[in-house]
Amino acid sequence: MGSVHNVKSPNDWEEDILIFEHQAPIHHWIEGVEDEDQPYQALIGDVAFISEDDLRLLVVEGELSIRTTGRFEIQDTNRDSFIFSTEYIAYPLPSLEKACDDSDYRSDAPDPLMATQIEISSNLRIVALKYQGGSLRFHQIPDGMQPYFVQEGVVDFEYSPDGQTWVVGLNDGRLQVRQLSDGAVVESVDAYESPIVDTIVSADDAWVGVIYRDEVKIYQRATGDLQYRYPAATKIAFAPDNKSFTLAYQDGRLALHDISSGELIREIVGHEDRVTAIDYLLTGELLSAGADCNIMVWEMPQMAPVGSLETILVDPAVSFEDEEEKVAVHIQDFLVMPDGQMVIGQFYDFGIWQLEDGRLIREPSSENKEYSEILAVSLDGKSLAVPQYRIPESWDDTLTFVETDADEAGFSPDSSLLVGDPWRYAEDYEYGGMLNVWQVAPKQLLNTVGEETEPITAVNFTQDGQLIISSAEDGIVRLWGIP
């Protein structure tokens, strides 16, 4: 520990005069985590003042530029000793079969989580630590027991002066006040709208589902009023009969809700890992895909499994002991073909299944490194919107590929118009947030509407074809008349 020169209070510190210095300890890697026996300089991850002259340091065990062991300790700088420490929290190591579209998947164990923020209660009995990825864990001092933890995308948090509550900001835009004792939410407000991932319109045009980063909101289309909100939900699909909707969650759950009341009808654990895509088939069954690599078909509203689709296997990004064993991919989005006979599943490429038997009839070629993409399917089933430079080989001579410079696109109900955002990688994002409207046949740009905003994340027509709905990373849903 360095020398301390008459420490009084942070308010008494004079400019350009060093009054305090602390050297983080030298450590060795934990046995089994790293073969090298070289000592390393631990990091100072964060600092917290308990009182005006009582400073505690969060020491992260690891070099930021290399790796971290995931261990940490909290040191009392006044006494040159630590008051609390705990072992690391590691990411689970997925098996080869569960790689699922992870282009950076490797056989080496991933680095443990690293704590990046510390807050200590005024009575020195509870320490809170924020980890990479937004999880927040509370520990009792000195036994290290965890009374609770929060895994809802924490951006920042702070203890309240009263010592009874704490305030947390979440990456879905909510600002919450919670009880320190048990984490119960006392108050929650929308501090801002988080970026929108996607928008879904019900078949009767009555509802618009908006998927944010950490929650799903459902609005009435006619009034724009917020009707329901479901924190932690990540996907939504409206049933074809307009009587219900299904939500998907990171923990693999599928939840069926009544659309008139929002009440939960039935809930199941449909996947062993997060649900990555859901959609209804024209016959009323629900299609779901998960990070467990399974693609399931569910009878609704019973939510009983009635089938599955064949898994897509691709070459891994990294060879495992020089073996060429293939790995599965997880589907990010479904596009059900209008004839109800086929479904397109999108990942970094796409596959096509025959729904009658779940057979894969189009899969990416391992030799083709120029991956393809389908942006939208027209309701007459004759046109597919595809981005320029990623045009797939045709598998059906009756289909027409409509090239567009868009990242997001949608067809009008009568299949005559196509709307999309100008290519977001255009120079200086000059047209970010704008919308182009094309005539499909013959292909012709009719108009450009909108205003410059953050990049578009979803765009589609309402079912009656009267409005265009767009969402952007600024967290706003916009409605446009047809030009």
Per-domain residue ranges of the chain: 10-151, 380-483
Specify the amino acid at residue 463. Q
pLDDT more than 90, % of the chain: 37
Per-residue pLDDT, 48: 64
Average pLDDT over residues 29-57: 55
Q: Give the C-alpha separation, 384 to 475, whole Å.
A: 28
Residue 366 or 165, more confident: 165
Supply the DSSP string of 285-303, one letter for each residue: -EEEEETTS-EEEEETTTT
Q: What are the tokens at 100?
A: 């699922």
More confident position, 332 or 61? 332
**Cβ proximity of 170 and 156 under 8 Å:** no
Region of 322 (left: φ > 0; alpha: ψ -120 to 50; beta: rest) is left
Tell me the C-alpha distance between 116 and 124, whole Å: 19
Q: What average pLDDT does range 213-225 have in this prediction? A: 90
Give long-range contacts, CB 8 A cutoff, 24+ apart: 221-230. Answer: 221/462, 227/262, 228/257, 228/262
Least confident piece of the model among 173-177, 197-201, 205-209, 280-284: 173-177
The residue-averaged pLDDT of 185-213 equals 90
Handedness of CA 437, 439, 442, 445 (dihedral sign): negative
**CA torsion angle 351 354 359 364 (round to 10):** -20
Return the SS3 of 77: coil
Q: Is 153 exposed, middle or buried (0-12, 13-18, 19+ CB in 10 A)?
A: buried
For residue 471, the SS3 value is: strand
Residue 278 contacts residue 331 (beta carbons within 8 Å): no
Query: What letter represents residue 408's amino acid?
Result: E
Q: Is residue 154 classed as helix, strand or coil in its secondary structure?
A: strand
Share of the chain above pLDDT 70, in %: 71
Residue 476: pLDDT above 60?
Answer: yes
Q: Is the pLDDT of residue 165 over 70?
A: yes
CB atoms within 10 A of CB 83: 15
pTM over 0.85: no
- Pick the closest to residue 60 from 79, 73, 51, 75 (CA basis): 73
Q: Which residue has the tokens 């917020």?
A: 226
Residue 287 has pLDDT above 70, yes or no: yes
Which whole number is the average pLDDT over 412-437? 76
Contacts of residue 185, defined as CB under 8 A and 6 or more positions apart, other chains included, come to: 176, 177, 178
Do strands 342-346 and 333-336 pair parallel, antiparallel, or not at all (unpaired)? antiparallel
Give the model's pLDDT for residue 4: 35
Query: What is the longest distance spanned by two Cα atoms in the chain?
Result: 84
Rounded to whole angstroms, what are the CA distances from 172 to 18, 234, 433? 41, 11, 21
More confident residue, 95 or 402: 402
Residue recorded with tokens 């970010």: 432
CB < 8 Å & 24+ apart, contacts of 128-135: 128/157, 128/159, 128/166, 129/58, 129/72, 130/154, 130/156, 130/157, 131/89, 134/171
Calpha distance 342→345 (Å, rounded): 10
Instruction: Tell which residue, 94, 129, 95, 101, has the closest CA to residue 113.
Output: 129
Q: Please check whether residue 214 is in contact with residue 191, taking contact to mean a CB–CB distance below 8 angstroms.
A: no
Q: In angstroms, rounded to a whole number, what is the distance separating the alpha carbons of residues 305 and 476?
A: 37
Encode pLDDT of 97-156 as tens digits.
344 545 444 444 455 666 777 787 777 778 888 877 778 888 887 777 888 888 777 888
Return the pLDDT at 189. 86
Mean pLDDT of the chain: 78
Q: Which residue type does 147 have?
A: P
In which residue are the tokens 């002991």 written?
321
